[in-house]
Amino acid sequence: MAIRELKVCLLGDTGVGKSSIVCRFVQDHFDHNISPTIGASFLTKTVPCGNELHKFLIWDTAGQERFHSLAPMYYRGSAAAVIVYDITKLDSFQTLKKWVKELKEHGPEDIVVAIAGNKNDLGDIREVPTKEAKDFAESIAAIFMETSARNAVNVEELFQKISKYL
Ligand SMILES: Nc1nc2c(ncn2[C@@H]2O[C@H](COP(=O)(O)OP(=O)(O)OP(=O)(O)O)[C@@H](O)[C@H]2O)c(=O)[nH]1
């Protein structure tokens, strides 16, 4: 079976759950005490897609502001970017919009953008309405999903969608 390599990077505010999403996807594991990423980390996972195998080469970037300038190294050359916000933090949705703008200005022209509203297990303290995020995603032709790395909701599905798009 042919193996296709797909480079994907994760972007978004610190603490939104980028590493947790990757950890759920790659290892099917969740860690309440996961440490903030320093610089970036790299993981891979291979999944079947039709007659092919898709090998995701995943760059999980650090969301802390001091690492912002490193991000272009990871999104340049990426086939897809997953931009993550935390549904319980309106600020993280504003940060997501800044990432969308930066990708538009400096990212690869044909990059597939997926928006993930993470921590949807915390719906009772939600600050970002689903409709607002969905409408925004539609306006930029991005994939949209609300996920929970903790409860393994829509994480696999998110990467499957990206896989199909690519
Ligand atoms: N309730 C809940 N907590 C989550 C979820 N995903 C991540 N967390 C928690 O949120 C915190 C931050 O998660 P990380 O995965 O380190 O966030 P990050 O976006 O990678 O952060 P940086 O590495 O600093 O950019 C941790 O305490 C996680 O356990 C989720 O789906 N639900």
Taking the centre of ligand 1 as the mean of its atom positions, its distance from the CA of residue 1, in whole angstroms, is 35
Taking the centre of ligand 1 as the mean of its atom positions, its distance from the CA of residue 56, in whole angstroms, is 21
Question: What is the structure's pLDDT at 29?
Answer: 97
20 lines ligand 1 (CB under 6 A): yes
Q: List, for the chain, all residue ranges whose pLDDT scores fall below the cut of 50.
A: none
**What residue owns the CA closest to ligand 1's atom 27?**
32
What Cα–Cα distance (Å) separates residue 128 from each residue in 34, 54, 80, 89, 153? 24, 32, 24, 7, 18
**What residue owns the CA closest to ligand 1's atom 28?**
32
Tokens found for residue 84: 């993550």
**What residue owns the CA closest to ligand 1's atom 8?**
17
**What residue owns the CA closest to ligand 1's atom 32?**
119
18 lines ligand 1 (CB under 6 A): yes
Question: What is the structure's pLDDT at 132?
Answer: 98
Q: Which residue in 122, 132, 104, 111 sits closest to 6, CA to CA?
A: 111
Question: What is the structure's pLDDT at 1?
Answer: 79
- Indicate which atom in ligand 1 lies nearest the CA of residue 31: 29
Contact 55, 46 (CB under 8 A): yes
Number of CB atoms found within 10 A of residue 75's CB: 24
Question: What is the structure's pLDDT at 87?
Answer: 98
pTM assigned to the model = 0.97
- Indicate which atom in ligand 1 lies nearest the CA of residue 20: 15
Alpha helices in 31-129 (DSSP H): 71-75, 90-106
Taking the centre of ligand 1 as the mean of its atom positions, its distance from the CA of residue 129, in whole angstroms, is 20
Taking the centre of ligand 1 as the mean of its atom positions, its distance from the CA of residue 19, in whole angstroms, is 7
